[in-house]
Amino acid sequence: MIDRYAAPEMTEIWTTEARYSRWLEIEILAVEARHRAGLVPLEDLEKIQRNAAFNKERVDEIEAVTHHDVIAFLTSVSESLGLESRHIHYGMTSSDILDTCMAMQIRDSGVLIKEALKNYGEALAGLVRRSKGIVCMGRTHGMNAEPTTMALKFAGHYAEYLRCMKRLEDGLDSSCVGTISGAVGTYAYLDPSVEEFVCEKLNLGVEEVPTQVVARDRHAQFLYALAAIGGAMERFATECRHLQRTEVGEVEERFGKGQKGSSAMPHKRNPIVGERLCGLARLLRGYLQVGLENTALWHERDISHSAAERFIFPDACGVALYGLRKAADLASGLRIIESSVAFNVERAGDRYFSQSIMLAMVRHGLTREESYALVQKIAMDAMESGNSFAEAAVAQEEVTGVVPEEELSNICTIDNHLRNEEYILGRLGLS
């Protein structure tokens, strides 16, 4: 994770020092489990708990010869102990501490990401509440469609946040599992109770059928949750970017005192946060692709996944955390320019009543095809001439001969389009 976007508390989780510390914690817990089973003398356990340590520089020195980081680590730890070091890593294999450690790192990263996601959701909920009742144009294909409200527009993003939270929780449940099962996952030299004790102490689940490693589809599920969060942030950011365009001008990112928009044009206020979020979402989808590629390992294991995971997990967690914090800032600081919103509704004319009139004619007995053709012609003529569509429709005998004028007046109102705002928001608990 580059310094520009790094959160220190996330970076700390994925440092080499933190990794080794977790390895040591796992190793000591495994010794404790074997002591509880009567296999390690209490005196040896206490010496290990009191004295076991590693020296990062020494690990690096040994690894330069062994080309094996776990062996280098274990050698450094053994140098801090006496004969009791024989209990360290007993019956275990490298993946027992590698995969269990990664589960711990994902667990700890998940705490930060969940908190940031929750804050993003609260910011979206606040945006929905302060935009209730603000009528705006809904757009499909980038073109004016029918009226909606700003609250309903943003409520869709809040609903997506709720789904993201569920996916994240499921992804954490899936990936936060450890294994202490030995060379090919058969527990040949360790009783499964050791694994159960260690994982319970670390608040981790247990891989049901280890193959020396934890199955990588579990981690891919977590990475999918992060990629889905990226997609949610991108969709919200894209909406804000479009609404901030000069010719739309309905919202604006927070622009702080002293902030600059362009090195050349002092008048610019650009949607830089939204643009940044869109870029970060691409990274999260890329990490997912690598995670999916990692799922198909040879036989009980190979290490084709290993080097890739050293990149993707710290970066994916860091990008997700940074992005969510920026997305929360975007939502909480988003300025709604109500005058522009109202102007765009007025400028849209009244052609959005076309469906109201078409369906009224259907209710009065015309086929949908007949109604559509007639209403479309009136709407197209009104667009070309710049006249009122509703007035043109009332002037057409083909329309008033089917639908009474009074009924046309009653249905050609914006209120008819927006009468269910409270009901829809109520589904989310935001009414």
Domain of residue 33, CATH code: 1.10.275.10
Q: Active site residue: 67, 141, 267, 299, which one? A: 141
Task: Please indicate, yes or no, whether residues 75 and 104 belong to a single structural domain of this protein.
Answer: no
Any domain includes 12:
yes
Rounded to 10°, the helix 94-130/150-175 angle is: 170
Is 68 catalytic? The answer is no
Give the percent of the chain with pLDDT over 70: 100
The strand ranges marked E within 108-245 are 135-140, 143-149, 177-178, 205-206
Residue finishing a domain among 70, 87, 104: 87
For the segment 355-361, the average pLDDT, to the nearest whole number, is 93
Q: Active site residue: 35, 193, 262, 371, which one? A: 262
Any domain includes 431:
no
For 385, the domain range is 349-420
Task: Please indicate, yes or no, whether residues 238 and 225 belong to a single structural domain of this protein.
Answer: yes
Q: CB of 425 within 8 A of CB of 151?
A: yes
Is 141 catalytic? The answer is yes
Question: What's 144's DSSP letter?
Answer: E
Task: Please indicate, yes or no, whether residues 143 and 276 belong to a single structural domain of this protein.
Answer: yes
Task: Please indicate, yes or no, whether residues 62 and 189 belong to a single structural domain of this protein.
Answer: no
Task: Please indicate, yes or no, whether residues 83 and 99 belong to a single structural domain of this protein.
Answer: no
Task: Please indicate, yes or no, whether residues 164 and 196 belong to a single structural domain of this protein.
Answer: yes
| Residue 60 pLDDT exceeds 90 | yes
Q: Which two tokens stand for residue 370?
A: 């007949």
Any domain includes 1:
no
Confidence of residue 2 (pLDDT cuts 50, 70, 90): confident
| Residue 189 pLDDT exceeds 80 | yes
The amino acid at 63: E
Task: Please indicate, yes or no, whether residues 336 and 247 belong to a single structural domain of this protein.
Answer: yes
- CA–CA separation, 122 vs 157, rounded Å? 11
Any domain includes 103:
yes
pLDDT in tens, 219-250: 999 999 999 999 999 999 999 999 999 999 99
Number of structural domains (the chain) is: 3
Q: Where are the alpha helices (DSSP H) in 245-305?
A: 272-293
Task: Provide the CATH number for the domain around residue 148.
Answer: 1.20.200.10
Give the percent of the chain with pLDDT over 90: 84
